[in-house]
Amino acid sequence: MSDASGGIAVGSLLLALLGGAMRVSTPFLFVSLGECITEKSGRINLGLEGTLVFGAMSGYGVAYLTGSPWLGILAAGGSGLLLGVMHGLLCSLPRVNDIAVGIAMMLFGTGLAFFLGKPLIQPVAPTLPSLILGGWSSNTQIQEALRINVLLPIGIALAFALRWAFVHTRWGLALRLVGDNAAAARALGYPVVPVRIVATAVGGFLAGIGGAFLSLYYPGSWNEGLSSGQGLMAVALVIFARWDPVRCALAALLFGAAGALGPALQSQGITSGYYLFNAAPYVLTLILMSMSWSSGRSLAGAPGELSLVNR
């Protein structure tokens, strides 16, 4: 094999990774932004994995019935909101642990989605449109890599908006205060528990949209193996991103690229370690978590009330 052909293979591998990052990162992005809002309020919702799956199912079902993928997105967000409210209310009961409720909601949301989604495995729902940004190039691979879904720019804009809102709006301030020091927030007259319930509900809304992306764009169908831990990885991603929405967006792109590693190598003809390459995002998450966490020290930027950090 000559050097030139090797170079081309690396180049197209990188392009495939870039395309994969653009394509696969959207669910990570939406779930992590949602979880970021929830964790800023001082609670953690591990159930977003279930919300993601349920959002994928309900979004697909509504898009199929109405013929509009946008109504599907709305339905996915709405059902995510309901699951978020459920988590928020349950955790507001005294002596109820938010991490445990998250695990229960993960199993509950997934089971419910599988039950209600049985009739949706066959039908074909309309998918979300994509934006063609690579029209200037004659290289089909570049065109393919730059064919992005409409939710990605929306999500990135949302990340910047959230970063601004956390600092510059009354809502953002109240949210951060409740998450950092509930006693102080109470003393200043902020309703701690309602703020947390709203934060969990909004987080669920965004996670539901992330799920709808899976069923309405990529892979673009509903089946029971649709999500494999994306919702959970997004929760870990928020910690790695130090509760900053813009860094969440960057981390989501990184995770997308890691998730695209398996398929990209496969398209290059490397198929032997397919399962191992598919595990790349999980391994990456573990490595990043052990780098950003460190025993004995508190996490910089962590909301003070977060049970994940204080335990």
Partner 1 sequence: MSLLPLVAALFVTAVLFALFVASQGYPAFDALALVGKGAFGSAFAWQNTLSRAAPIMLTALCVALPARAGLLIIGGEGALALGGLAAAMVPVVLAGWSVLLVQGLMAMAGFVVGGGWIALSGWLRYKRGVNETISSLLLAYIGAAVFNFLVEGILRDPASLNKPSTAPIGDRYAIGAIPGMDVHWGLVWGFLVCIGAWWLMRHTVFGFATGVVGGNPRAAQMVGLPVGRLMLMACFLGGGAAGLAGMLEVAAVHGDANADLMAGYGYAGILVSFAARHHPLGVIAGALLVGGIGASGSLLQRHLDLPDAATLVLQGMLFVSLLAFETLNRKGVQRV
Q: 115-144: which residues touch partner 1 (CB under 8 A)?
A: 115-116, 118
310 contributes a contact to partner 1 by CB under 8 A: no
Alpha helices in the chain (DSSP H): 3-40, 48-66, 69-92, 98-117, 140-145, 151-168, 170-180, 182-187, 192-216, 230-240, 245-259, 261-267, 274-278, 280-292, 307-310
Contact in structure between 124 and 221 (CB atoms under 8 Å): yes
Q: Are strands 130-132 and 147-149 parallel, antiparallel or unpaired?
A: antiparallel
Contact in structure between 236 and 285 (CB atoms under 8 Å): yes
Contact in structure between 63 and 72 (CB atoms under 8 Å): yes
**Separation of alpha carbons 230 and 239, rounded Å:** 15
Compute the least distance from the CB of residue 88 to partner 1, in Å.
13
Q: 216-255: which residues touch partner 1 (CB under 8 A)?
A: 228-229, 232-233, 235-236, 239
# binding residues, partner 1 (CB under 8 A): 51
Interface residue with partner 1, options 10, 14, 131, 276 (CB under 8 A): 276
Region binding partner 1 by CB under 8 A among candidate stretches 160-168, 198-206, 251-259, 285-293: 285-293
170 contributes a contact to partner 1 by CB under 8 A: no
Quick count: other Cβ atoms within 10 Å of Cβ 60? 32
Comparison of 152 and 251: residue with beta carbon closer to partner 1? 251
Compute the least distance from the CB of residue 308 to partner 1, in Å.
6
- Contacting residues toward partner 1, per CB under 8 A: 46, 86, 90, 93-97, 99-101, 103-105, 107-112, 114-116, 118, 228-229, 232-233, 235-236, 239, 272-276, 278-279, 282-283, 285-286, 289-290, 293-297, 308, 311
